[in-house]
Amino acid sequence: MNALRCPAPVTLSLSASVHRLHSFFTYANTLARNWLPDSHGLLRRKDGSKYWFACFTLPDGGQTQRSTKQTGRSAAQKVADTFERAATQKMSEGQIRRVIPTLFEQVSGQRLASSSVRSYVEQFLKLKERESSKATYLRYKQLLGQFCEQLGDRANLDINFVAVVDVSVMGLPSG
């Protein structure tokens, strides 16, 4: 009867194999911890930073990273999704101005302070009435009254919707 013989033992450098495996798993763990893909792009945490960074493609095809200024992943994801939407959908200025306050409220739990053109003008005039001469105050009141009149119903919109062209039509300095 023939006896089965075991093959000769293979000698491997166990320490080198363990070292390679350890390096691989360390690298994989770092990737998993610092680069978390989602359906829209990537969230990344840079070494030494407590904030998540959104990685996304710009309309011109270039890629960029922007800090979300968020330490929590879910809050950072909301910011990253907004960045991605703004970049890929080529949102208009008006759309972006509507999205940002909503994003701010979702992330911070607070409403973003805003003011209509008309209420801003009223507050400005109250301040100028106290700190300016009567003639200066009356001139401001006249010009800003004409400005609100020119804007019509748009004077009741958020002040961020006033464009430079609105100011330049009045002949007021825009800068």
What's the pLDDT at 24?
61
Question: Taking the model in full, what pTM does it have?
Answer: 0.45
pLDDT tens digits, one per residue of 17-38: 555 655 665 655 555 455 444 4
What's the pLDDT at 135?
94
Domain match, 89 and 148 both:
no
pLDDT tens digits, one per residue of 119-170: 999 999 999 999 999 999 999 999 999 988 888 888 888 887 777 667 666 6
Domain match, 34 and 103 both:
yes
Q: Which residue has the higher pLDDT, 24 or 174?
A: 24
19 located within any domain:
no
Q: Work out how many domains the chain is built from and give that number.
A: 2
11 located within any domain:
no
What's the pLDDT at 168?
64
Sign of the CA dihedral running 32, 38, 42, 44: negative
Domain match, 155 and 84 both:
no
What's the pLDDT at 36?
47
Burial class (CB in 10 A: 0-12, 13-18, 19+), 54: buried
Residue 124: give the domain boundaries: 117-170
Alpha-carbon distance of 101 to 36, in angstroms, equals 26
Domain match, 63 and 100 both:
yes
Domain match, 34 and 89 both:
yes
Antiparallel, parallel or unpaired: β 63-67 and 35-37: unpaired
What's the pLDDT at 89?
75
Q: Note the Cα 87 to chain centre separation in Å.
A: 11
Domain match, 42 and 102 both:
yes
Number of continuous H segments (helices) and E segments (strands) in the chain: 6, 4
pLDDT tens digits, one per residue of 49-89: 999 998 888 777 788 888 888 999 888 888 888 888 777 77
Domain match, 102 and 122 both:
no
Strand partners, 63: 57
Give the neighbor-by-neighbor strand order of the sheet with 42-45.
35-37, 42-45, 52-57, 63-67
Lowest mean pLDDT among 21-25, 100-104, 112-116, 163-167: 21-25
50 located within any domain:
yes
Is residue 1 predicted with pLDDT exceeding 80?
no
Domain match, 124 and 89 both:
no
Contact 43, 77 (CB under 8 A): yes
3 located within any domain:
no
Domain match, 48 and 84 both:
yes
Dihedral (Cα; 54, 55, 56, 62), 10-degree rounding: 140
Strand partners, 65: 55
Domain match, 70 and 131 both:
no
Domain match, 39 and 91 both:
yes
Domain match, 87 and 125 both:
no
Q: Note the Cα 9 to chain centre separation in Å.
A: 60
Collapsing DSSP to helix, strand or coil, 54 comes out as strand
What's the pLDDT at 86?
77
